[in-house]
């Protein structure tokens, strides 16, 4: 799988520097930049279904990527139906629901909220490596028009219906990635930029985001998110730095 080559916007060592880099991006309804935070800057923009552990599994099973995906989605549907208040209406919505709960799919998460993306980039510790926030401006003709997500010819932008509270509060959207055989014949449509978050600045960003109300409890409006936010707020992680620290 070829790596995405992004034009670097630079490194942001504090929140003000980060905002200067992202606030100039267009946010019109039909002309939008979206953002994705990744804990490790070296990670590529690849959906979970294309990560090594899944590729090894389907290679051993002699499955194609589509067969692997369809099987996962079929099993997810069977188990998830009793837990959904409003059932997804099509395969796109089922993929979005599965993606938000960790299912391996061809979707990659993005958000219209750059501070939300920054939170996901710096959330986890220890701070042993640089993080990144990716910025993507999708071309309008690359948005969803195909009824079957398993037959898309190129990387496609997908803005789902608000079928879960998480999608709503995160301004969630996705890119859908075709199978590698077809992806090799197309390029990623639109502009890709990357902001590096140096490892030594990640703790400062976490504290700033906490002060601005960007917490896991806000981005994940459920009991799990609330519990994690409280644990973070009332732990050593949020205490003032010691002299020389």
pLDDT tier at 242, thresholds 50, 70, 90: very low
Confidence grade of residue 124 (pLDDT, cut at 50, 70, 90): confident
Is the confidence at residue 56, as pLDDT, over 60?
yes
Q: Determine the average pLDDT of the residues in 28-39.
A: 80
**Residue that wins the pLDDT comparison between 183 and 244:** 183
Structure confidence at residue 241 (pLDDT): 42
DSSP 8-state secondary structure symbol assigned to residue 240: P
Sketch the domain layout of the chain as residue ranges: 7-202
Given a contact cutoff of 8 angstroms between Cβ atoms, the answer to whether 150 and 107 are in contact is no
**Considering only 31-35, 201-205, 222-226, which range has the smallest mean pLDDT?**
222-226
pLDDT digits (tens, 9 = 90+) for 172-185: 789 999 987 654 55
| % of the chain residues with pLDDT over 70 | 72
Strands 191-197 and 7-11: parallel
Determine the pLDDT at residue 3: 61
**Confidence band for 30, pLDDT divided at 50, 70 and 90:** low
pLDDT at 131: 96
Range with the lowest mean pLDDT among 48-52, 103-107, 170-174? 170-174
| Local confidence band at 228 (pLDDT 50, 70, 90 cut-offs) | low
Angle formed at CA 156 by CA 150 and CA 160, multiple of 5 degrees: 85
CA 42/CA 86 separation, integer angstroms: 38
Tell me the C-alpha distance between 108 and 231, whole Å: 28
Residue 122 has pLDDT above 90, yes or no: yes
Please give the structure tokens belonging to residue 216.
């896991």
Over residues 116-128, mean pLDDT: 88
Residue 101 predicted with pLDDT over 70? yes
- Res. 169 pLDDT band, cuts 50 70 90: very low
pLDDT of residue 190: 84
How far apart (Å, rounded) are the C-alpha atoms in residues 92 and 150? 9
Q: What residues pair up with 7 in beta bridges, in sequence order? A: 193
């Amino acid at each position: 799988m070829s790596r995405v080559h992004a034009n670097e916007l630079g490194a942001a060592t504090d929140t003000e520097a980060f905002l200067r880099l992202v606030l100039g991006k267009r946010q019109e309804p039909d002309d939008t930049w979206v953002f994705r935070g990744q804990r490790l800057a070296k990670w590529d923009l690849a959906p979970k279904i294309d990560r090594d552990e899944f590729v090894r599994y389907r290679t051993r099973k002699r499955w194609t990527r589509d067969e692997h995906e369809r099987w996962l989605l079929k099993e997810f549907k069977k188990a998830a139906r009793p837990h959904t208040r409003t059932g997804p209406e099509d395969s796109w919505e089922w993929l979005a629901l599965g993606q938000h709960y960790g299912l391996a799919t061809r979707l990659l998460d993005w958000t219209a909220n750059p501070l939300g993306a920054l939170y996901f980039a710096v959330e986890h510790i220890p701070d042993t490596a640089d993080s990144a926030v990716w910025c993507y401006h999708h071309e309008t003709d690359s948005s969803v028009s195909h009824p079957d997500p398993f037959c898309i010819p190129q990387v496609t932008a997908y803005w789902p219906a608000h079928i879960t509270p998480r999608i709503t509060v995160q301004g969630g959207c996705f890119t859908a990635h075709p199978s590698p055989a077809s992806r090799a014949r197309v390029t990623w449509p639109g502009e890709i930029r990357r902001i590096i978050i140096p490892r030594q600045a990640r703790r400062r960003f976490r504290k700033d985001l906490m002060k601005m109300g960007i917490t896991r409890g806000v981005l994940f409006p459920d009991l799990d998110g609330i519990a994690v936010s409280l644990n973070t707020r009332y732990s050593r992680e949020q205490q003032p730095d010691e002299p020389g620290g």
